[in-house]
Structure 1
Amino acid sequence: MRETREVLQSTGRQLPRRLVQLYAGLALYGVSMALIVTSTLGNMPWDVLHQGLADRLDRSIGTVAIAVGALVLLAWLPLRQRPGLGTVSNVVVLGLVLDATLAVLPDPTSLPARAGFLVAGILLNGVATAAYIGVHLGPGPRDGLMTGLVRRTGRSVRLVRTSIEVAVVAVGWLLGGTLGIGTVLYAVAIGPLVQVLLPLLSVSPAGRPTRPAAAPLPRG
């Protein structure tokens, strides 16, 4: 009982820091999405779909990202996935910050400027991903879909994630979403970036430092 009480007290002390880090991470994630979209050199996989749908539906890409996130979250029901605060916050915050950032970002005209936006977006996305995953308040809806399918099908994480993202990118590209070198660079770089940064930004709910060996990656 004493150990349980100490764990609960420690968890309570860590909660403010976890909440601040969660929402800071989600906000930075939305900014990183906007930087990559503005570069026009190739979107993150799910943003290829978001942009394609936004163009066809005449809606903002942030609005579409929120709608897609909500629909993906509904797909958790048959998979018996349990959302957390971070899951629900992910659905709303990313789209709002994405639209707000796109409204104020200048349009880069030269290739070096566009490349700078792309690189900055990928690096910032790595920090943001590690920050919000590291507080252990629930995965993003798209990531939860992947892990739920892995559990239900028995297939590997790599196979399920690749299959989902190939399908998402293909549909998004057919709808007019931007697919390019940025999409490839993001896919190659984000894993190593998060692997390096996640141990530095992980906060144990019980207040103890964590050393996760691996973590699923959110996809916008």
Structure 2
Amino acid sequence: MKAFFVKYLYFFTGLFICCIGNYFLVAAQNLGVSPWDVLHLGISKYFPSLGLGTIGIVVGLLILIPTTIMGIKPKLGTFLNIYIFGLGLNALMSSHLLEISSNYAVSFLYLIIGIITTGIGTAVYLHANTGAGPRDALMLGLNRKTRYSISQVRSGIEITVVVLGYVLGGPIGLGTLIFSLTIGISVQWGMRLVNQPQFITKSRPIEVTK
């Protein structure tokens, strides 16, 4: 029972940290939104009646198709990730604790905080081994299939998403490029941090190709 509690404590804590990271990234959109938000905003131009969170949920469910084919089968945590992340982000955005900054220095600070926080949050919730979210499942699946590192795979995914989102009309900027090139490093660093002995629970440590 204790192991179950600790596992889901990791999961929900990591997911909330990711929500905070994404919230900072949205607040830094003066420099350009994160790659997945470029895609979501691009899609929203064709489906204006759908909220950004709803679009994110639909995209997440569609991503489960190739990840399942690659052997990363969705678990309960995968579906919780899709819905809870969207609800959590919507709640943070509704709180207006952060405003979209027009100051480039502040936006850059938000961007850096968002990248680091997202990397740590991703590592924490993956460590619970309750099932990766769809985007991270795609990252893990490609890591196993291609044998490229987490850093290389994550950066490759982000760059691909940016191009697709831009074609659909999503906004991009310098911050988008910085996020795309550094988020893989942040996630890999977070995984190494969480897999240190003082952080390990009875859940299985994450297997990562170096």
Same fold (TM over 0.5): yes
Rg bigger for which structure?
1
Question: CA 1:38–1:155 in 2, change beyond 3 Å: closer, same or farther?
Answer: same
Paired-residue identity, %: 32
Report the AA paired with residue 96 of structure 1. Answer: L
Q: In the superposition, relative to structure 1, how do residues 99 and 22 fare at CA in structure 2: closer, same or farther (>3 Å)?
A: same
TM-score by length of 1: 0.76
Offset from partner CA, 1:61-103 (integer Å, 9 cap, x none): 2111111001111344444431123211221122122222222
State the partner residue of 1:116: 109
AA at the equivalent of 1:191: G
Q: How does 1:26-45 map to 2 (within 5 A)?
A: 26-40=15-29, 41-45=31-35
Do structure 1's residue 138 and structure 2's residue 131 form an aligned pair? yes
Code of the aligned partner of 1:198: M
CA apart distance, 1:118: 1.4
Distance change >3 Å, CA 120–CA 76, structure 1 → 2: closer
Please point out which of 178, 190, 206 is paired with 2:202: 206
Q: Structure 2 length normalisation: TM-score? A: 0.79
Equivalent in the alignment of 1:64: 55
Q: Which residue of 2 aligns with 1:182?
A: 175
Q: Is the 8 A contact 2:154 2:183 kept in 1?
A: no
Identify the residue that residue 40 of structure 2 maps to in structure 1.
Answer: 50
**CA deviation after TM superposition for structure 1 residue 161, in Å:** 5.4
Deviation at 1:215, TM superposition (A): 6.5
Amino acid in structure 1 at the alignment position of 2:14 = G
Specify whether residues 122 and 164 from structure 1 end up closer, same or farther in structure 2 by C-alpha distance, changes over 3 A only. closer
Q: Are positions 1:167 and 2:156 aligned together?
A: no
Query: 1:155-187 deviations in whole A, cap 9, x for unaligned?
Result: 443676565444321121122222222222223
Q: CA–CA distance in 2 between the matches of 1:84 and 1:215?
A: 22
Q: Of the candidates 77, 82, 96, which is equivalent to residue 87 of structure 2? A: 96
Structure-1 separation of matches of 2:133 and 2:78: 5
Distance of 2:91 and 2:66 partners within structure 1: 28
Deviations along 1:31-85, whole A, 9 cap, x unmatched? 2112212211122222211121123311222111111001111344444431123
Deviates more, 1:179-188 or 1:192-201: 192-201
d(CA) in 1 for partners of 2:148, 2:163: 20
Residue 45 of structure 2 aligns to a residue whose secondary structure is helix
The answer to whether the Cα contact below 8 Å between 1:30 and 1:97 also exists between their aligned partners in 2 is: yes
Q: Is the 8 A contact 2:159 2:180 kept in 1?
A: no
- Distance (whole Å) between structure 2 residues aligned to residue 125 and residue 207 of structure 1: 21
5+ long unaligned stretches in structure 1: 1-11
**Cα displacement (A) at 1:136:** 1.7
* Displacement after TM superposition at 1:109 (Å): 2.6
* C-alpha contact 1:60 1:99 (8 A) present in aligned 2: no
State the partner residue of 2:4.
15
The Cα RMSD (Å) is 2.9
Q: Is the 8 A contact 2:72 2:137 kept in 1?
A: yes
